[in-house]
């Protein structure tokens, strides 16, 4: 089996590649050229499989449709996972055109290439719980209404709809995974969970003295990325294409996350956390809670990692990184006054 993954350098790209390789797949991924190296998460896979055909990378960009179509023709994959996106909601307000274009152009190009190939290529679209808008405390499922509140969410609604349209119009095996927030030690450092756990590690080792956040009352249904990529894979093995929600069915506030993360190292979060409107959004998604019953019933999928284990896993990872950073600071190889390493 051959899989083609866009967004392979991201958090989910890493976990999905690892899963598919363990199942005997030949994995192909699209990476884009950047001025600084963007393969940190997958470097381990690159070196491990350097002498085999299990893990292969190709230059492409979601804004370069011909490169994507060419790759579908050359690779001839059995499965395509479209994970690539400008995935930061706050940044989507600053770069609305770029964000919506990357979200929308990728699916249309990939679905067109799949349709034209006349082969039975299965397609997974990375849809998002952000599309629901989080306007009340209801538990959200596949039937819930989309009320997008950001350019990011609007782009994802388009991608979701076009995936469904190609499924219904041309009979393609095209699925949408509506995933609620999922995190890990490989989570980007400007998303709130990782921003918190990274700060906990650095504060513990006295490299950083405070953590500045935005809306502490927002709540999210946070799961572990390693569990969620198993759900993506299961969707493409189902007998019929469809849309499925993946979530834990539990929601926690940003405040609760911070409280628990600081507690992991014996610190009181209130001594270190401050807030700034700089990290607030023009239109906030206040509350997200998902209902994964359909995925549980039809795919046999359920989350395996609790909220507490997730926080612990992320804090432990960032404590190790901060310990290494501290060595560099002590040797004057790094500036210790670098307080809040995030611009988002």
3-state secondary structure 11-76: HHHHHHHHHHHHCCCEEEEEECCCCCCCCHHHHHHHHHCCCCCCEEEEECCCCCHHHHHHHHHHHC
Q: Does 102 bind ligand G4F (CB under 6 A)?
A: no
**Contact (CB, 8 A) for 137 and 287:** yes
Residues 25-64 that bind ligand G4F (CB under 6 A): none
Among 164, 167, 182, 195, binds ligand NAP (CB under 6 A): 182
Q: Does 191 bind ligand G4F (CB under 6 A)?
A: yes
Rg (CA), the chain: 20
Which residues does residue 209 pair with via DSSP β-bridges, in sequence order?
A: none
**Contact (CB, 8 A) for 208 and 179:** no
Q: How far is the CB of 167 from ligand G4F (least distance, A)?
A: 21
Looking at 55-150, list the stretches that DSSP marks H as alpha helix, in order from N- to C-terminal side.
65-75, 89-94, 96-117
The residue number with the shortest CB distance to ligand NAP is: 10
Q: Which is nearer to ligand NAP, 13 or 148 (CB)?
A: 13
Q: Does 252 bind ligand G4F (CB under 6 A)?
A: no
214 binds, among ligand NAP, ligand G4F, none (CB under 5 to 8 A by kind): ligand G4F
83 binds, among ligand NAP, ligand G4F, none (CB under 5 to 8 A by kind): ligand NAP
CA-based nearest residue to 245, from 138, 103, 149: 138
Q: Tell the burial category of 84 from Cβ atoms under 10 Å away from its Cβ (0-12, 13-18, 19+).
A: buried
Encoded one letter per residue, x for contact with ligand G4F by CB under 6 A and - for no contact, window 110-139 reads ------------------xxx---------
Q: How far is the CB of 276 from ligand G4F (least distance, A)?
A: 8
Q: Does 281 bind ligand G4F (CB under 6 A)?
A: yes
Q: Does 96 bind ligand NAP (CB under 6 A)?
A: no
CA-to-CA distance for 192 and 195, rounded, in angstroms?
5
Using CB under 6 A, list all residues that contact ligand G4F.
87, 89-90, 128-130, 180-181, 190-192, 195, 213-215, 218, 220, 254, 279, 281, 284-285, 288, 344
């Amino acid at each position: 089996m051959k899989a083609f993954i866009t967004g392979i350098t991201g958090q989910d790209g890493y976990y999905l590649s690892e899963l598919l390789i363990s199942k005997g797949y030949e994995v192909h991924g699209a990476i884009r050229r950047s001025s600084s190296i963007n393969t940190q998460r997958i470097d381990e896979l690159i070196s491990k499989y350097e002498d085999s055909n299990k893990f292969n990378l190709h230059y492409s960009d979601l804004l370069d449709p011909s490169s994507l179509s060419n790759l579908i023709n050359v690779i001839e994959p059995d499965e395509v996972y479209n994970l690539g996106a400008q995935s930061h909601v706050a940044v989507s307000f600053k770069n609305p055109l770029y964000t919506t274009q990357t979200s929308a152009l990728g699916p249309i190009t990939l679905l067109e290439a799949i349709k034209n190939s006349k082969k039975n290529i299965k397609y997974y679209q990375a849809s998002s719980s952000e599309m629901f808008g989080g306007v009340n405390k209801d538990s959200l499922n596949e039937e819930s209404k989309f009320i997008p509140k950001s350019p990011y969410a609007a782009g994802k609604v388009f991608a979701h709809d076009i995936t469904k349209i190609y499924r219904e119009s041309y009979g393609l095996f095209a699925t949408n995974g509506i995933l609620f927030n999922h995190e890990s030690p490989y989570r980007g450092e400007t998303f709130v969970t990782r921003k918190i756990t990274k700060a906990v590690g650095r504060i513990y080792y006295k490299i950083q003295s405070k953590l500045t956040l935005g809306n502490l009352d927002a709540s999210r249904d946070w799961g572990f990325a390693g569990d969620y990529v198993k759900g993506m894979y299961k969707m493409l093995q189902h007998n019929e294409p469809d849309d499925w929600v993946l979530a834990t069915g539990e929601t926690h506030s940003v405040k609760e996350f911070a409280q628990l993360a600081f507690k992991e190292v014996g610190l009181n979060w209130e001594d270190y956390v401050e807030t700034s409107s700089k990290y607030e959004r023009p239109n906030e998604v206040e509350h997200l809670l998902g209902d994964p019953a359909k995925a549980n019933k039809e795919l046999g999928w359920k989350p395996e990692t609790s909220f507490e284990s997730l926080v612990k896993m992320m804090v432990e990872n960032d404590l190790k990184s901060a310990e290494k950073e501290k060595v560099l600071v002590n040797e004057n190889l790094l500036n210790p006054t670098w307080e809040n390493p995030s611009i988002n």
